[in-house]
Amino acid sequence: MKLMQTDKSDAKGKKAANLKKKFKPVKKGKQKTQPKDSDESDDEGIRPLKETRISDEPVPRKSKWTNRQRVLVLCARGINHRDRHLMRDLRTLMPHHRAEPKMERWKTLQVVNEMSEMKHCNKVMLFEGRRKRDLYMWLANATVGPSVKFLVENIHTMGEMKLTGNCLRGSRPLLSFSEEFTKQPHLLLIKELLVQIFGVPNHHPKSQPFIDRVITFTYLDNRIWYRHFQILSEDGGLTEVGPRFVMNPIKIFSGSFGGDPIWENPVYQSPAKHRQMLRKAASEKYLQKTKKKVDHELNVPKDTHKLTPYGDIFKGGLEERVKEVLKQEKQRSKEERERAKIEKRQKLMKQRDEMRKLKLANAKQSTKKKLPTKKEKMQKEREESDAKEQRKALKKGAKVQKGGKKKFDGKRGVSA
């Protein structure tokens, strides 16, 4: 302690001496030049003073937005209109998102990591469609991993349901998870990803400093059910805002959009296979029905009960049986007469129809004129030409006979 005190006193004494030397009054005129060695030895322990004091320096401002989570939300080509509306709804609920146009199908999923780096995003939400029916969702921690693949089912968008709930745009939500998320290890990992993606960071520039909504994630039937509610009162009054959908986890990968599979759902069945099973069950049901019908027709007994042919004779009294027999005979006679009349009428109708057909056929034959063929026309023309020539020849022969013999004179020529 004594040594420390002596050091302090020495240091104070030196400082005082140096200060006295510094602030000595200087006479006007020629200044005495002191030796350089003495100045250097005195100023060795003193640091040069700053231009501004520490108290005057501006205090570095601490940014309140420390949790700098940005989520890249995009989709691949080939998604349905309903899936596209779901993606738009999730974008409106996440003020910390970054949008990206549709990704081409031929590109690999590793390209998404480069996109996230270009957009300065930590997390990625990718929607992928198959056959315009099935929607798959990827949630990933960009570049590092892990990543989870879900099958999205039972989609209901906000515009489709038209619910009464309404919350402030850009407000921060409360995230509530069911108890089962703490029991299983793969659900713990999924919970952490969901918290980092759906949770809006505090003091985000695009967020509002209010909490007026709740997003619930419940694990039931090996699926995660997403619901979004508005907080009406502090007592716990809620109204649903939307959207609604169910996430069926398929696989968890160690890397971002790739790597070794950490966990795989043993109960998962692809939607294409599920539809195939339904079609097969429907076809089997139809085959079973047809088989039952055939078996029933083959095994049906022809005579259900073996009855005696004259068993009705011994029922009731004699008079009643006689009356019944007479009635039956009268009915049979009436039926036979009616049948005979109907048969006669049918025969007459058939005869009339046959007569009409014959008359029509005769009329057609008489009215029809046979058109001459080409050969017949040629023959007629030839016959007519021959007849004309014969007539001309006959006319010439008649003229010669009337004139008689011809005489020749020397002067006039021929004379009668």
342-379 pLDDT, tens digit per residue, is: 999 999 998 989 998 888 888 877 766 566 777 888 88
| Inside any domain, residue 59 | no
- Write out the two tokens for 5: 């005190």
Residue range 265-322, pLDDT digits in tens: 999 999 999 999 999 888 888 888 888 888 888 888 777 766 666 666 666 677 787 8
Residue range 47-64, pLDDT digits in tens: 776 666 566 666 666 678
Q: Is the separation of the CB atoms in 148 and 249 below 8 Å?
A: yes
| Higher-confidence position of 304 and 82 | 82
| Inside any domain, residue 173 | yes
| Inside any domain, residue 58 | no
Question: If 0-12 CB within 10 Å is exposed, 13-18 middle and 19+ buried, where does residue 245 land?
Answer: buried
| Cβ atoms < 10 Å from Cβ of 300 | 8
- In this prediction, residue 415 carries a pLDDT of 44
Peptide bond into 301 cis (omega under 30): no
Evaluate if residue 204 carries a pLDDT over 50: yes
Amino acid occupying residue 12: K
Residue range 33-51, pLDDT digits in tens: 554 454 555 556 677 766 6
Distances (CA, A) of 311 to 307, 314, 324: 7, 6, 15
* 3-class DSSP string for the chain: CHHHHHHHHHHHHHHHHHHHHHCCCCCCCCCCCCCHHHHHHHCCCCCCCCCCCCCCCCCCCCCCCCCCCCEEEEEECCCCHHHHHHHHHHHHHCCCEEECCCECCCCCCCHHHHHHHHCCCCEEEEEEEECCCEEEEEEEECCCCCEEEEEEEEEECHHHHCCCCCCCCCEEEEEEECHHHHCCHHHHHHHHHHHHHHCCCCCCCCCEEEEEEEEEEEEECCEEEEEEEEECCCCCCEEECCCEEEEEEEEEEEECCEEEEEEECCCCCCHHHHHHHHHHHHHHHHHHHHHHHHHHHHHCCCCCCCCCCCHHHHCCCHHHHHHHHHHHHHHHHHHHHHHHHHHHHHHHHHHHHHHHHHHHHHHHHHHCCCCCCHHHHHHHHHHHHHHHHHHHHHHHHHHHHHHCCCEEECCCEEEC
| Inside any domain, residue 290 | no
Evaluate if residue 31 carries a pLDDT over 60: no
Question: If 0-12 CB within 10 Å is exposed, 13-18 middle and 19+ buried, where does residue 165 land?
Answer: middle
Predicted confidence band of residue 336 (pLDDT cuts 50, 70, 90)? very high
SS3 content of the chain, % helix, strand, coil (to 5): 45, 20, 35
Total domains in the chain come to 1
Evaluate if residue 15 carries a pLDDT over 60: no
| Cβ atoms < 10 Å from Cβ of 220 | 10
Predicted confidence band of residue 114 (pLDDT cuts 50, 70, 90)? very high
Residue 99 phi/psi, 5-degree rounding, is -90, 155
Question: If 0-12 CB within 10 Å is exposed, 13-18 middle and 19+ buried, where does residue 211 land?
Answer: middle
| Inside any domain, residue 220 | yes
Output the domain CATH number for residue 199: 3.40.50.10480
Instruction: Report the C-alpha gap between 359 and 321 in whole angstroms.
Output: 58
Residues belonging to the chain: 416
Helix ranges (H only) for 199-304 are 271-299
- Write out the two tokens for 182: 């703490």
Indicate if the alpha-carbon torsion angle 241, 242, 247, 253 is positive or negative. Answer: negative
Evaluate if residue 401 carries a pLDDT over 70: no
Instruction: Report the C-alpha gap between 375 and 288 in whole angstroms.
Output: 72
Predicted confidence band of residue 169 (pLDDT cuts 50, 70, 90)? very high
- In this prediction, residue 8 carries a pLDDT of 43
Task: Report, as an integer, the average pLDDT of 369-393.
Answer: 82
Residue range 216-252, pLDDT digits in tens: 999 999 999 999 999 999 888 999 998 999 999 999 9
| Inside any domain, residue 170 | yes
- Write out the two tokens for 98: 């970054």
Evaluate if residue 72 carries a pLDDT over 90: yes
Q: Is the separation of the CB atoms in 217 and 225 below 8 Å?
A: yes
Peptide bond into 48 cis (omega under 30): no
Q: Which domain holds residue 117?
A: 71-273
Question: Nearest Cα to 197, choosing from 117, 101, 85, 96?
Answer: 96
- In this prediction, residue 11 carries a pLDDT of 43
| Inside any domain, residue 411 | no
| Inside any domain, residue 31 | no
